[in-house]
Structure 1
C-alpha cells in the first residue's frame, strides 16, 4: 500500500449515514437521495441538517432525474436553481454532470453551472463514464478550474474491471487541479490492491460500506477502509 493518504468519500443519504461515515474516518460526503437510481438531488432540509451534523465537507449531487444525462431547458433551469440553493445551504461543492446528444461534455451548460456555483467547486459525476471518449472528456474538464474532481468507474459498470482505464486517466490528470475520484463497485477487500495498481488519489464508496440491500452506512466498514488507505 502507498504511504500517501488517499481521500475517502462516502455516499450519505441520511443524517445517520453522514454521522456514521464521519465517525468512521471519511474525508468527505457525497449527499444524495434515491441511491438505487444512481443518486438524485436531496432536499434543502436534508442538506442543511447534514451540514450541521458533521464537520467534514458535504458535496451535494444536483441531478433532477435518472432518465439520461442530456437535459432540456426546463431540467437545466431547475439544476441551476438547485446549485444556488445547495451553496446557500452550506454545501462544500456540487456534484453534477451533463452531456450533449453526441455524448460529449456539454461545455455551454457547464459554463453556466460554474457561474451559478459562484466560486464553489464542482465534481463531474459518472455522466463522464457515458462520454464517447473518456480521454477527450477529461481534457475538456481540465479546461475548467472549478472542476476539481471527476468521479469515474473507467467506463465500466464496476471500477474494479477498469484498472488500466483508471490508471490512464490518473496519468492524464497528473499535475492538474483536477483529481480522478474512482468509484462504483469498490469493496473493502479489494480497495488496497486497486489503489496500488491505479495510483488513484481518491476513492468513492457507496454500497461497499453499507449493509445488505443498500442499507445504512456501517461505521466499522468505513473505519476499515480508512485504515487500508492510510490514516
Structure 2
C-alpha cells in the first residue's frame, strides 16, 4: 500500500520520509490547488531524501484548459524537472468540452520521457470517468490517476472510486484515492474502495492545516493502519 504525501517545503519531504511515506507530490500554491514549484525547491526536495519526488506541472489555477503559451511553459517546466532529478510529474489537461485533451497529453508524455506520470484531479471534472480512464490507460507512461471520484471529498464518492478501481484491474494503470483523507477515515475508505495507493495533504499536518508543518505521528499512524490492512 503506497502513501503519497503533499510537500510544499523541504522540511515536509524530510519528515514524510522519516515517518513512513512512500512518495512525495511536490507543489507550491497549495491554496490554489497546487502549482508548479520553483526549480530551487525541486532540486532541494530531490536531495532531501531517497523518496521519489513527483512534481506538479500546473502554471495557473484558472482552469485545466491550457493555451499554447501555457503549453510552452509546461513543456519547459517538465524538461527542468527532469534535469533536477525528480522521479516524475503530476499533470492533467482538459479540452473545452471537459474531456481529456489527448493532443496536449501526448505532448506532455513525449517531453516527460523516462519520468513517472500521475494524471491529477483534473480527472474529477470529467463527466464520463470510465471512458477517461480507458483513454489514459492507453499510455503506459501514465502510472496512475489521482481521484476523489468527483468534486466531493473522497469518502463521499467511494462508489465511484470503487467502480474505477474495478475497471483498472484489467488495465495497466492504478487508481490513487485522495482529498479529505486522514488517519481517522482511511481504513473505512480502503475497505470501501480497494485502491492500492492513497494521497494525503492537510490530513497529515498539525491541526489539519497547510499553514502548519507535517505531523510525523499522523503519517506513522496511517502507515500502521495500512500495514494492518495489507
What residue in structure 1 maps to residue 97 of structure 2?
102
Alignment counterpart, residue 139 of structure 1, candidates 127, 134, 139:
134
What residue in structure 1 maps to residue 83 of structure 2?
88
Q: CA RMSD in A?
A: 1.0
| Separation in 1, partners of 2:148, 2:96 | 21
| Unaligned runs of at least 5 residues, structure 1 | 1-5
Alignment counterpart, residue 217 of structure 2, candidates 217, 220, 231:
220
Instruction: Indicate the SS of the match to 1:230.
Output: helix
What residue in structure 2 maps to residue 129 of structure 1?
124
Contact kept? 1:128, 1:150, Cα under 8 Å:
yes
What residue in structure 2 maps to residue 36 of structure 1?
31
- Asked whether 1:10 is paired with 2:9, we answer no
Q: Shift of the alpha carbon at 1:156?
A: 3.0
Q: Shift of the alpha carbon at 1:120?
A: 1.2
Q: Shift of the alpha carbon at 1:157?
A: 2.1
What residue in structure 2 maps to residue 58 of structure 1?
53
Q: Shift of the alpha carbon at 1:51?
A: 0.5
With the length of structure 1 as denominator, give the TM-score of the two structures: 0.96
Instruction: Indicate the SS of the match to 2:184.
Output: coil
**Runs of 4+ residues deviating >6 angstroms:** none
Q: Deviations over 1:23-61 (max 9, x none)?
A: 110000000001111100000010110100111100000
With the length of structure 2 as denominator, give the TM-score of the two structures: 0.96
- Asked whether 1:188 is paired with 2:153, we answer no
Alignment counterpart, residue 21 of structure 2, candidates 21, 26, 35:
26
Alignment counterpart, residue 79 of structure 1, candidates 74, 78, 81:
74
Contact kept? 2:75, 2:108, Cα under 8 Å:
yes
| Separation in 2, partners of 1:17, 1:121 | 21
| Separation in 2, partners of 1:200, 1:179 | 8
User: Between Structure 1 and Structure 2, how many residues are aligned?
Assistant: 226
Contact kept? 1:13, 1:31, Cα under 8 Å:
yes
| Separation in 2, partners of 1:180, 1:102 | 23
Worse overlay, 120-129 or 212-221:
212-221
| Unaligned runs of at least 5 residues, structure 2 | none
| Separation in 1, partners of 2:152, 2:223 | 24
Contact kept? 1:31, 1:61, Cα under 8 Å:
yes
